[in-house]
Chains A and B, each alone.
Chain A
Amino acid sequence: MAEEVTKMICITCPVGCTLEVTHEGKTLIKVDGNQCKKGIEYAENELTDPRRMVPTTVKVRGGVHPLVPVCTAAPFPKPRVFDLLAELRKVELQAPVKIGQVVLENALGTGVDVVATRNLPAVN
């Protein structure tokens, strides 16, 4: 397979370095333009298994709001994000919800949990 250069923007932190990633297929050869080592890790993951944090909301019964925000506890495989969102649409919690509470365990068998990201008190 031929060596090629792909431009990427690292999203690990707000700096957003532009990376020039030299690779052969999914094999990383070198990274230029990164300001820290997280850039190399990011480039490697983008080539082999791109993942994203997925913030969204799920329904809640009896809470001060009808929704509670949730987020994957770790980056989640990017190609399966819409499947995850469909799965989370089926979830309905009962208030009160505690921050960090697991909303969906081992989502789609990826080993990644989805957790609540705020406390949601029950309505009095």
Chain B
Amino acid sequence: MLKQKYDVVVIGSGPAGLAAAIEAKKTGAEDVLIIERAKELGGILQQCIHNGFGVEIFKEDLPGPAYAQRFIDQVEELGVETLLDAMVLDITPARHIYAISKWSGFAELDARAIVLAMGCRERTRAQIRIPGTRPAGVYTAGTAQRFVNIEGYMPGNRFVILGSGDIGMIMARRLTFEGAKVERVLEIMPFLTGLTRNYVQCLLDWDIPLQLSHTVSRILGNRRVEAVEAVQVDEKWQPIPGTEEIIPCDTLLLSVGLIPENELSRKAGVALDPVTGGPYVDEGMQTSVPGIFAAGNVVHVYDLVDWVTEAGFLAGRSAAKFAIAERKRTARQVKLQPGDNIRYIVPHVMDKESLAESDQRLQMRVIKPIEEKVWVEVLDGENLVTRKSQRYVRPGEMVTVDIPQKAYDAVQKADTLTVRVVRR
């Protein structure tokens, strides 16, 4: 059962989101909720079955799912709430969240602080504009990774991989392990873009050829990929004529970069840095919108998950502190509510501590005229806090009443003060 208001709501449950939720709870946030799009926690770590995670944080070399499990266990122990298989539709700058899921239906909730941890997504064929036909068999490396490692499908038999980033190289080994032939890994840059150790343990170990300063200049095939045309490029990435080579294959994987996923951030009014593609953040990972924090690959793309976790911890801690301060501030506030024959009151809320400084004047208008003596009463429920006599009230003439300093104690007990006008 979802609550109406949370101290901290975390969007996304990858390494950044899990860390943020854990740290928020440990810092003293009471109600913490994670909203996750997938049916389980862990994000992309669940499909990163290779080892290499946790060397910095745990001094251990863990596979992705095992790394995620350590944080999932903590999330459960600490009593962080989760809403899985859910989509956040919108976030307002006032931290009102609209979400939808099979379990909750359409849900609206408020957060004292939000941590954006939506991660990033892969660049696709369209974003690098590879010419040629549009057959089946062109995948991003991460999509193929999900098929092979979680869903249990092989996306093809003979592969060419474009991009020497870590995901590309790790998939080259993974597909080889599953019986596929990886014909080539092509890299447009004159250097490797992933970690050197992945070059060794993913490509060299299994005799998978890597060609630097090469790219795919054309995709061939009608219904299905039949081959790609590879070409060498100069230092300006321009194809060098005469170097074209047709590589027969049935599948092309793209490992050509990641883009922070910030559609929700934009909706919340968060300012984005055009260089990183992620929010501008301060030292505590707060974005340009107060109370909205961000962590992990949604801010900029990391190369080690351990650092994503660290960023999540930082954002979670900052979000909890913000929420606690917010809770204290609103606990000191009393609402001013129009009662009988009052249309509105200004101010709408009042800091209870303000009475320690001075009397507080309320301004209001009545709904209907009363041409005889009246009381303007300020009440906490049925208890009279203060009142003032007036000879008449008219909608055209503003009414005021002062809450005196001596009412300080009475006001401390109240959540809401009602003002009404009654005949004497």
Residues of chain A touching chain B, judged by Cβ–Cβ distance below 8 Å, are: 8-14, 16, 18, 52-57, 59, 64-67, 69, 71, 78, 81, 85, 99, 117-119
Contact = CB atoms under 8 A, between A and B. Distances in A.
B219 to A, nearest CB: 29
B199 A9 contact: yes
A67 B46 contact: no
Nearest to A10: B197
A117 B63 contact: yes
Nearest to B173: A55
B49 A16 contact: no
Contacts of B195: 14, 16
B117 to A, nearest CB: 20
A112 to B, nearest CB: 14
Contacts of B52: 14
Contacts of A12: 197
A55 B51 contact: yes
Given A16-B195, A16-B197, 12 more contacts: A9-B199, A13-B197, A52-B205, A56-B178, A57-B152, A64-B39, A64-B40, A67-B151, A69-B63, A78-B205, A117-B49, A117-B65
A54 B205 CA distance: 12
Contacts of A55: 49-51, 63
A69 B65 contact: yes
A106 B149 CA distance: 24
A67 B150 contact: yes
B200 A117 contact: no
Nearest to A82: B177
Contact of A14 (B197, B199, B205): B197
A57 B49 contact: yes
Contacts, number: 78
**Chain B interface helix/strand/loop/mixed:** helix
A35 to B, nearest CB: 13
24 contacts: A11-B201, A14-B52, A14-B303, A52-B205, A53-B61, A55-B49, A56-B174, A56-B177, A57-B148, A57-B149, A57-B152, A65-B151, A67-B149, A69-B63, A69-B64, A71-B63, A78-B205, A81-B177, A99-B66, A117-B62, A117-B63, A117-B65, A117-B66, A118-B68
Interface of B: 39-40, 46, 49-52, 55, 61-66, 68-69, 148-152, 174, 177-178, 195-197, 199-201, 205, 303-304
Contact of B197 (A11, A65, A71, A118): A11
Contacts of A118: 46, 65-66, 68-69
B277 to A, nearest CB: 24
A11 B49 contact: no
A14 B55 contact: yes
A55 to B, nearest CB: 5
Contacts of B149: 57, 67, 69
A99 B51 CA distance: 14
A117 B304 CA distance: 19
A38 to B, nearest CB: 11
A64 B197 CA distance: 33
A-B pairs with the 8 shortest C-beta distances? A118-B65, A16-B196, A69-B49, A11-B197, A117-B63, A66-B152, A16-B197, A117-B66
A67 B174 CA distance: 14
Nearest to A50: B205
B151 A9 contact: no
B304 A14 contact: yes
A122 to B, nearest CB: 13
B152 A67 contact: yes
Contacts of A11: 197, 200-201
A56 B40 contact: no
Nearest to A70: B49
Contacts of B150: 65, 67
Contacts of A56: 49, 174, 177-178
Nearest to B201: A11
